[in-house]
Amino acid sequence: MGRARFGTDGVRGVANVELTAELALALGRAAARVLGAPGFLVGRDTRRSGPLLQSAFSAGLAAEGADVADVGVLPTPALAWLARDRARPAAVVSASHNPFEDNGIKLFSAQGTKLPVEVEAAIEAEVERLDRGPARPRGAQVGAIAFDDRAAEDYRRGVVSVLRGRRLDGLHVVLDCANGAASVVARRVFESLGARVDTIFDQPDGTNINDGCGSTHPEALSLAVVERKAALGLAFDGDADRLVAVDHRGAIADGDTLLALFAIDLSDRDLLPGSSLVATVMSNLGLRLAMSARNIEVVETPVGDRAVLEALESGGFNLGGEQSGHIVFRHLATTGDGILTGLLLADLLVRSGASLAARTNGLIERVPQVLRNVAVLDPGRLDDAAGVWQTVREVERSLGTPGRVLLRASGTEPVVRVMVEARDASAAESAVARICAAVEEALGAPGG
């Protein structure tokens, strides 16, 4: 069956190999026992393995007496929104921006928030003792599973309501749906507000999610925006919790740029508590410098949306996110939402009467930054790889100020992420190449 292990974003693995139907069934049973709710919401993205794993997880919930509302294909943040709106826990079967072969199961509380790590640990432990639990329900006590055909429209109305009646009439926008969950709802959101909408990569076939498209590959969107003479392009990832934007010239605005843009806009409207935003250590130094020049503090956290959310909550801040485009508006949502972020960006541009290119011109002067993912056999051995860390120390000494090295094992993929900032791009490239070689030598490359 395999073992349940929650990473930084739920339980993930290769579908039907590491994340099997048997494990999904066990996770459903364990979640029902630990969370103790009478009903759950369950959805998925467009991966081929989604129905398999969703059915198994839902069966596990029902086997322990919980009713299940199957909401079908919906973005991950839609499940978070629905969980809070309907005051019941939710789960989404998705591996976000990963390749289609992967899948995952992510849980939300009845408040629409990620589960605390101690609750995830309790679910892991419960999976190991399912055969020693109480007698299973029988008869009318067995949970019912029914499709909820109102969920997508309820989410659309909820997202649209944040504009408080403002509209996007006439704005021409191209949406890259990554052949993922955004395909079922993003167009309706923007069209219902009067925008002129073109969509690309909105024909999911179960295997093409994130394949050369979406927020991790926005190049095709850049071309489409220019060719169609659109004002704005918005690229989501497979489960639509991330957003990368494209201006009318085809230039890409990543999460750092969007954070800066939103921080200034919120500050101008007295909606930025503490004159602060939250960003992870992966954000470019240019973001910190740009915000400092505007008397906005950047609160730095470790990588991951959990760290961002914790900092937002503890500091009472409204805005936080990651360079990847995972952006959280704490006063509006409980998690990052790519469709919400895109909607707020479009609203900002309409309100200001300026293009994205004009709003971002000179906003951030980036320090050269190079990012690489190194595929390895066992990322978990990184902390003990003394030779790698010796190389990192040597590289840091050679870079000097403002040089910076960040190295971490991914919590969602079998890779080590390497980031280097340096005075010039060539120095950053050389430093990354040296560290990547040390990582591969110490941890082993797949097939090597």
Q: Tokens for 408?
A: 């971490």
Please state, in angstroms and rounded to a whole number, the distance separating the CA atoms of residues 438 and 127.
38
Provide the 3-class DSSP secondary structure of residue 38: coil
Compute the distance between CA of residue 196 and CA of residue 204 in angstroms, rounded to an integer: 22
**At residue 57, what are phi and psi to the nearest 5 degrees?**
-65, -45
User: For residue 157, which amino acid is it?
Assistant: R
109 in catalytic set: no
Of 209, 217, 146, the residue nearest 180 (C-alpha):
209
Distance CA 77, CA 35 (A): 20
Identify whether the C-beta of residue 94 lies closer than 8 Å to the C-beta of residue 45: yes
DSSP class per residue in 284-348 = -HHHHHHHHTTT-EEEEE-SSHHHHHHHHHHHT-SEEE-TTS-EEETTT-SS--HHHHHHHHHHH
Catalytic residue among 94, 96, 215, 283: 96
Count of C-beta atoms within a 10 Å radius of residue 247: 24
C-alpha 379 chain-centroid distance:
21
* b/e 376-409 (16+ beta carbons within 10 angstroms → b): beebeebeebeebeebbeebeeebeeebbbbbbb
CA distance 231 to 220: 16
Instruction: Please identify every residue annotated as catalytic.
Output: 96
